[in-house]
Amino acid sequence: MTDQTMETIVIDTAPQSDADPAKTASLYRMVMPDHLCPYGLKAKALLERKGFTVHDHWLTTRDETDRLKRKLDVKATPQVFIAGRRIGGYDDLQEHFGHHVPKADETTYRPVLTLFAVAAVIALAIAWVATGALETAMIFSWFVSVAMVLLGLQKLQDVESFSTMFLNYDLLARRWVPYGYIYPYLETAAGLAMLAGVALWAAAPVALVIGTIGAVSVIKAVWIDGRELKCACMGGGSNTPLGFVSLTENLAMALMGLWMLVRLF
Q: Residue 7: pLDDT band by 50, 70, 90 thresholds?
A: very low
Question: What is the model's pLDDT at position 200?
Answer: 92
Question: What is the model's pLDDT at position 149?
Answer: 96
Q: Residue 5: pLDDT band by 50, 70, 90 thresholds?
A: very low
Quick: pLDDT tens for 84-119. 899 999 999 999 999 887 776 777 888 889 999 999
Quick: pLDDT tens for 41-66. 999 999 999 999 999 999 999 999 99
Q: Is the dihedral of CA 169, 171, 176, 179 positive or negative?
A: negative
| pLDDT value at 8 more than 70 | no
3-state secondary structure the chain: CCCCCCCCCCCCCCCCCCCCHHHEEEEEEEEECCEECHHHHHHHHHHHHCCCEEEEEEECCHHHHHHHHHHHCCCCCCEEEECCEEEECHHHHHHHCCCCCCCCCCCCCHHHHHHHHHHHHHHHHHHHHHHCCCCCCHHHHHHHHHHHHHHHHHHHCCHHHHHHHHCCCCHHHHHCCHHHHHHHHHHHHHHHHHHHCCCHHHHHHHHHHHHHHHHHHHHHHHHHCCCCCECHHHCCCCCCECCHHHHHHHHHHHHHHHHHHHHHC
Q: Residue 17: pLDDT band by 50, 70, 90 thresholds?
A: low
Quick: pLDDT tens for 197-246. 899 999 999 999 999 999 999 999 999 999 999 899 888 777 888 998 89
What's this model's pTM, rounded to 2 decimal places? 0.79
Mean pLDDT across the chain:
88
| pLDDT value at 2 more than 60 | no
Q: Convert 175-213 to b/e letters by CB count within 10 Å (16 or more is b).
A: eeeebbeebbebbbbbbbbbbeeeebeebbbbbbbbbbb
Question: What is the model's pLDDT at position 126?
Answer: 92
